[in-house]
Structure 1
Amino acid sequence: MSASTGVAGEDASSAVALVNTRHLQSGQPADLLADPARAAGWLAERGLLPRGTALPDPDTARLVALREAVRGLFAARAGQRVPAVDDVTLLNAALAAAPVVPALTWDEAGPRRREHTLAGAGPCTVAIARLARDALRVLTDPAGPEPAPCGAHGCVRWFLRTHAARQWCSDRCGDRVRAARHYARHRGTA
């Protein structure tokens, strides 16, 4: 689970964390990408952008658009339906904007895979491409955990389902649902 939010899968997937930048906080909509400064801070926290890098409005808009496309793709996968063509197109465009070339490096620790972004892409374009690549991995890895919406009433977060019985994004949501069930059972008998 993510140390900051407790949402299962955010530590393993930047794409899940991206989708969850739009959530409810105390019942009110919250957006961690609401303006360029907050968006740049979020990208820096995830190690996707150097700290102090300015994020122009168009790049912020592209990041928010990617978030909404990935959310739509996750929903399509969870609902076993075909996603909106625009969501697929947007993800593919983000992947193509900063192509990554895999390379082998070998040192005392042994062989490792490295990735190099082709020259000419700005830091935000690279960050968006990395997020898109992670979303692609989450959506297509047959052996990996599946993205799932939280089953708690009023929660709009997504998580990676590592166990078929898991229904909630965090212990907090699970506790809230169990407490509501307990209250309903005992209120019904009183």
Structure 2
Amino acid sequence: MNETVAVGTQEAALPPAPGADRYRSLDFADTAATLPAGQSYDLLAAPGSAMRWLAAHELTTPDVRLYEVCARRMRTLRDHVRAVFAARVEGVAPPEESLRAVNQALTAVPTAPLLAWDGAQGPRRVRAHPTDQAVNHALATLAADAADLLTGPDASLLAACGSAPCDRFLLRTHGRRHWCSTRCGDRVRAARAYARRNDASE
């Protein structure tokens, strides 16, 4: 049986994959991962951890309180973004449902900060919204980022981690890079060394 662990911080899980510093949508897709020994983690599993992820990626402010329905919407969009990324990596058409979900997130709200008037400061741009609107803006921003990645010059660099059972995505910023983290790379190299030793002993 797989054991899913709700992790509150990115540091407690695998480190960000190559390319996550350029594309928040890549890090968003990797907020859930399958690990060896039947374990997995989900950084969006609970409203509190989902809120911390949004705040850490400057997609909302720490004072916005998230509820389960909002965290569930984040997880749903993440699944659709993952499906579109996987289709790009495999060179196949993405599921229509996933394309529709990304486009709905893109068009749900304007992603630009709104114009507001403050009696003391005058006109200014703000991102202050009720919780549901704050989440809408965050999801729209992530969907736009995913669309930019998929249609931009880095699209050909998008890859799936080559260390089973890890199912994270990365940008192959180096030609020989096939893994999302040092830990995954070490696991593959150890498995290869073990196989070579077994072959030599037979």
Are positions 1:24 and 2:20 aligned together? no
RMSD over aligned Cα, in angstroms? Answer: 2.5
Out of 87, 91, 94, the residue aligned to residue 80 of structure 1 is: 91
The Cα of 1:41 is off from its aligned counterpart by 1.1
Are positions 1:187 and 2:198 aligned together? yes
Q: Deviations over 1:130-167 (max 9, x none)?
A: 11111011111035553211010211111112234321
Counterpart of 1:65?
76
Give unpaired runs (5+ residues) of structure 1.
103-114
In terms of fraction of residues, the more helix-rich structure is 2
| Aligned 8 A contact 1:77 1:139 in 2 | yes
| CA–CA separation in structure 2 for the residues paired with 1:169 and 1:135 | 18
Structure 1 range deviating more: 155-164 or 90-99: 155-164
Are positions 1:98 and 2:109 aligned together? yes
Are positions 1:167 and 2:185 aligned together? no
The Cα of 1:98 is off from its aligned counterpart by 1.8
The Cα of 1:101 is off from its aligned counterpart by 5.1
Structure 1 range deviating more: 86-95 or 142-151: 142-151
| CA–CA separation in structure 2 for the residues paired with 1:122 and 1:50 | 13
| Aligned 8 A contact 1:148 1:158 in 2 | yes
| Aligned 8 A contact 1:94 1:129 in 2 | yes
Q: Deviations over 1:73-128 (max 9, x none)?
A: 001101111111110010001011122359xxxxxxxxxxxx987x8982111111
Identity of aligned residues (%): 38
| Aligned 8 A contact 2:36 2:166 in 1 | no
| Aligned 8 A contact 1:139 1:146 in 2 | no
Out of 37, 51, 57, the residue aligned to residue 62 of structure 2 is: 51
Per the alignment, in what secondary structure is the counterpart of residue 33 of structure 2?
Answer: strand
| CA–CA separation in structure 1 for the residues paired with 2:27 and 2:16 | 11
| CA–CA separation in structure 1 for the residues paired with 2:154 and 2:32 | 27
Q: Deviations over 1:19-78 (max 9, x none)?
A: 111113453121111111111111111111101311122222221111000000001101
Per the alignment, in what secondary structure is the counterpart of residue 100 of structure 1?
Answer: coil
TM-score, length basis structure 1? 0.82
The Cα of 1:175 is off from its aligned counterpart by 1.8
Out of 163, 175, 196, the residue aligned to residue 152 of structure 1 is: 163
Per the alignment, in what secondary structure is the counterpart of residue 27 of structure 2?
Answer: helix
| CA–CA separation in structure 2 for the residues paired with 1:143 and 1:169 | 16
| CA–CA separation in structure 2 for the residues paired with 1:67 and 1:144 | 18
Give unpaired runs (5+ residues) of structure 2.
1-9, 114-124
Counterpart of 1:112?
none
